[in-house]
Chains A and B, each alone.
Chain A
Amino acid sequence: MAIFSVYVVNKAGGLIYQHDSYAPRAEAEKTFSYPLDLLLKLHDERVLVAFGQRDGIRVGHAVLAINGTDVNGKYTADGKEVLEYLGNPANYPVSIRFGRPRLTSNEKLMLASMFHSLFAIGSQLSPEQGSSGIEMLETDTFKLHCFQTLTGIKFVVLADPRQAGIDSLLRKIYEIYSDFALKNPFYSLEMPIRCELFDQNLKLALEVAEKAGTFGPGS
């Protein structure tokens, strides 16, 4: 999947829509017996590997599931604390799935607001008046493309650095937004978008863009 996520940020900086379409990152599920040879610690409501490495499990990976059922932050699905559960030899052998922790929706909200502020700072730093703001943020593993409409809504797409055609994808998402979100009379402006049709059409547009982007020239 070359297009990782789509974020739509409203004028006030609040996240109104978010879609992730990347394949699950490296995850490893292994059966362990007591004592656990990895050192786990609690950090930010998650149980992370603090020390120890084996078979694809690295420092910083989080406990994603125990015995097949997803954990809920630092608690198991039945409400017991993960660290306590794993400290009890009676529960072994246990199968634990480790992987890079996913962002929670609160974290995504925070990141969107932070990006909104950075965008504003970026526009102010511009030596020329009327700057378009941050259009692209480049790293070695992904590129963040941003398009701000004249009305202040921002469409942000995170994609593979080699993916082409994201500019036209951003315009297409704007059209889909103006069609399926705004023309829905029951959708209030600036509120989170909960429209089925918007979801479906967005996913379609992402698929089209991914296929087109691998062949076409950069836009």
Chain B
Amino acid sequence: MSRPVPRRPEYHKINRDLLVLTYGALVAQLCKDYEKDEDVNKYLDKMGYGIGTRLVEDFLARSCVRRCHSYSEITHIIAEVAFKMYLGVTPSVTCNNSSKNEFSLILDKNPLSEFVEELPAGRSSLCYCNLLCGIIRGALEMVHLAVDVMFLQDRLKGDSVTEIGITFLKQPEKKKYRRRK
């Protein structure tokens, strides 16, 4: 892209610890409110979905990405541009199946769970960063792509890396007048 990324005139930096602490407080409160891990995961995903539907416009407005022509391109853009822009990390992308519709984002460092050691007892199936899954799902739905996003590996559960799996679902047949991303 030869066009520079447009910047807001006053670009305030907020300390990212505040974001990490806010996210932690959010998850802690949800854990207090809901007994079951599936409920907490579900609500995190729902909140993330709402964020994703709005964040995608901000992302598209500021990053000047062009229309993508393949799922692989889309996943690369999410990893290399979106994650970099919003979380400051660049996960690596791998393709999980030959039909090219299942991908994984592998994160060595997850800024949101940097200070979390391990999940509390009794919360073993909690997906701490499920908000991110919801965000990706919401964002892709706004560009007319149905996806399933879930954590395949989680450092907090003992795995070596954090892996987010994105599965692009087949669109139900409907007449589209133009191809989008």
Contact = CB atoms under 8 A, between A and B. Distances in A.
Interface of A is mostly: loop
Given A120-B177, A131-B178, A171-B6, A189 B62 contact: no
B175 to A, nearest CB: 10
A177 interface: yes
Interface stretch (A82-90, A100-108, A122-130): A122-130
Nearest to B6: A175
Given A130-B179, A131-B178, A175-B6, A151 B60 contact: yes
Contacts of B109: none
Contacts, number: 56
A208 to B, nearest CB: 11
B178 A151 contact: no
A150 B178 contact: no
Interface stretch (B10-18, B50-58, B123-131): B50-58
B76 interface: no
B180 A189 contact: no
A175 B143 contact: no
Interface stretch (A30-38, A53-61, A64-72, A178-186): A178-186
A133 interface: yes
A21 interface: no
Given A151-B56, A179-B8, A130 B61 contact: no
A149 interface: yes
Contacts of A183: 54, 58
A189 B177 contact: no
Interface string B145-181: 0000000000000000000000000000000011111
Contact of A174 (B54, B57, B177, B181): B57
Interface of B: 6, 8, 53-54, 56-58, 60-62, 67, 142-144, 177-181
Given A151-B143, A171-B61, A177-B61, 15 more contacts: A131-B178, A149-B57, A149-B60, A150-B60, A150-B180, A151-B60, A151-B180, A152-B180, A174-B57, A175-B6, A175-B61, A177-B57, A178-B54, A179-B58, A183-B54
Interface of A: 120, 123-124, 129-131, 133, 149-153, 171-172, 174-175, 177-179, 182-183, 189
